[in-house]
Amino acid sequence: MLINNLELSHFRNYDHFFIEFDKGINILIGGNAQGKTNIIESIFLCSIGKSFRTNKEKELIKFNCEKASVQINYQKSDRDGNIKIETPRDRNATFEPVIIEKGQTRLTGFEDKCIALYAKGMSLRDIENTLKEIYGVKINKDQITKLISAVNEETEKWKKRHLQPMYVFTYADCLYIPIKDDLTTTKRAVYVIIGVDVNGYKDILGLWIDKTESANFWSNVFEDLKERGVKDILYMSSDGIAGFKGSLERVFPKAQTQRCVVHLVRNIYGICPRKEAKAIIADYKKIYTSTSFEDAKIRLDEFKEKWKEYKRIIKKAEDFMEYLEPLFELQQEIRKCIYTSNAVESVNSALRKVTRGKGAFPNENSVYKVMYLRLKELSEKWKKPIPNWKTIQPQLIELFGERYIKHLEI
Asked whether the beta carbons of 378 and 347 are under 8 A apart, the reply is: yes
Q: Select, from the ranges 57-66, 122-131, 375-384, the one with the highest average predicted confidence (pLDDT).
A: 375-384
**Residue 38 above 70 pLDDT?**
no
What is the Cα–Cα distance from 287 to 132, expressed in whole angstroms?
Answer: 58
Share of the chain above pLDDT 90, in %: 40
Tell me the pTM. 0.69
Name the pLDDT band for 68 (thresholds 50, 70, 90): very low
Confidence at residue 48, expressed as pLDDT on a 0 to 100 scale = 52
- The pLDDT of residue 52: 47
| pLDDT averaged over every residue in the chain | 78
Residue 86 neighbours by CB distance under 10 Å:
11
Residue 149 has pLDDT above 80, yes or no: no
- Rounded Cα–Cα distance for residues 129 and 123 (Å): 10
pLDDT of residue 23: 64
Measured distance CA(393)–CA(263) in Å, rounded = 27
Q: Is the model's pLDDT at 13 over the cut of 50?
A: yes
Average pLDDT on 284-300 reads: 92
The stretch 301-311 carries a mean pLDDT of: 93
Least confident among 40-44, 89-93, 240-244, 319-323: 40-44
Q: What is the pLDDT of residues 197-229, one digit of tens each?
A: 999 999 999 999 999 888 899 999 999 999 999
| Average pLDDT for 379-397 | 92
